[in-house]
Amino acid sequence: MKILLITEPAMHTDPTDERLARLVGAVAPWGDVTLLLTGGQWPTTTAWAGVTDCIVIDQADLADWPSEDLATLIVALAGDFSHIVAAASTFGATVLPRVAALLNRAMVTGVQKICAPDTFIRPVRAGNALATVQVSGPVCLTLHPSSFAPMARIDTASIPIRHVVPSPGMQAGLSRLLERIPILRGKRPDLASAQVVVAGGGGLAKAGHFAMIEALADTLGAAVGASRAAVDAEWAPSAWQIGQTGHIIAPDLYIGIGISGAIQHLAGIKEAKTIVAINHDPTAPLMCVADFALEADLYEAVPALIQAWQDRKVVQRG
């Protein structure tokens, strides 16, 4: 089968972003993969096994196009691709359903496992159950990158690259970008694909206390996450939210601090290999499902963890 994998700029411009490698790893076993770049430049010195060619859209302001215009452009390039795939991100959730509607094909969202070219597993009921979905004919899919192993990079300079210029009048002008507010994360790994995540919740009590979560994350080289309670309180940006309405993550280690563990949040971390919870309430749902639960005052426990890790690094260097 032929697969069109739609990328977002950060996927191939940020060296710490593993989402593209994981998406390729998810679909490459099932057919030939064509990458469609919706912004940025293709890294011509490396690629991934299974990627046969790349389409680059030569449009300087493409990142500012509204979703309905991007969908029209993707449909024009859809050709005979049996599967059109994107990450289960804000981009994928807004653009790909429009593509599916315009092409009159099935749309399956939030896929966590591909069983066969026509059979997919996705979470339902806030992650409390998994549904196996079988479709007939061409399909559009959004995948959770964290659910798939990354494809190894390969050295290549021969991957065919086709440049496409959108035809005049393709933009309908029904909406336009008013403002872009960047979320700066410095040198931290991307939350969606990070192997270690430290998250804070409503138990932190005050906005300024979230800096303690960031300090622990930076000490461990981890990504920073937050519960919906922390985001709603404006202690953390929405881009850090973990859960059914935020990021679905699958790190090797997840540390939840001051998070009670609402069902929507638990749905976002259930694939984590090891879950650590720190809370003063031993009956909190997250404490009950954690592999390691520490009943403690987080204002004492977190600084102690930071100091212990720093001492460990000093010993290792010595």
Q: Which CATH class is domain 196-317?
A: alpha beta
pLDDT of residue 315: 61
- Structure-model confidence comparison of residues 314 and 310, the more confident one: 310
32 burial (CB, 10 Å; 0-12 / 13-18 / 19+) is middle
- Residue 163 pairs in a beta bridge with 56
Name the nearest CA neighbour of 305 among 199, 213, 223.
213
Summarised one tens digit per residue, pLDDT across range 3-23 is 999 988 777 666 667 888 899
The encoded tokens of residue 252 equal: 């090797």
pLDDT of residue 77: 92
Summarised one tens digit per residue, pLDDT across range 171-228 is 877 887 787 766 555 678 888 878 899 999 999 977 688 999 999 999 999 999 999 9
CA–CA separation, 218 and 18 (whole Å):
19
Name the nearest CA neighbour of 254 among 228, 276, 239.
276
- Average pLDDT of the chain? 87
pLDDT of residue 41: 61
Q: What angle do CA 289, 131, 273 make, to 5 degrees?
A: 30
> What are the boundaries of each domain within the chain?
2-164, 196-317
Q: Which CATH class is domain 2-164?
A: alpha beta
DSSP-assigned letters across all residues of 58-127: --TTGGGS-HHHHHHHHHHH-TT-SEEEEESSHHHHHHHHHHHHHHT-EEEEEE-EEEETTEEEEEETTT
Place of tokens 């029904």: 174
Give the C-alpha distances (Å, rounded to integers) separating 255 from 14, 198, 252, 308.
Answer: 25, 5, 10, 16
Query: Is residue 104 pLDDT above 70, yes or no?
Result: yes
The encoded tokens of residue 69 equal: 């215009």
Summarised one tens digit per residue, pLDDT across range 113-132 is 999 999 999 988 766 788 99
Q: Do domains 2-164 and 196-317 have the same CATH topology?
A: yes
Summarised one tens digit per residue, pLDDT across range 31-83 is 999 999 886 566 555 678 888 888 888 887 787 788 899 999 999 999 899 99
Task: Output DSSP code: residue 208.
Answer: G
Name the nearest CA neighbour of 103 among 129, 69, 79, 125.
79
| 8 A C-beta contact, residue 290 and residue 275 | yes
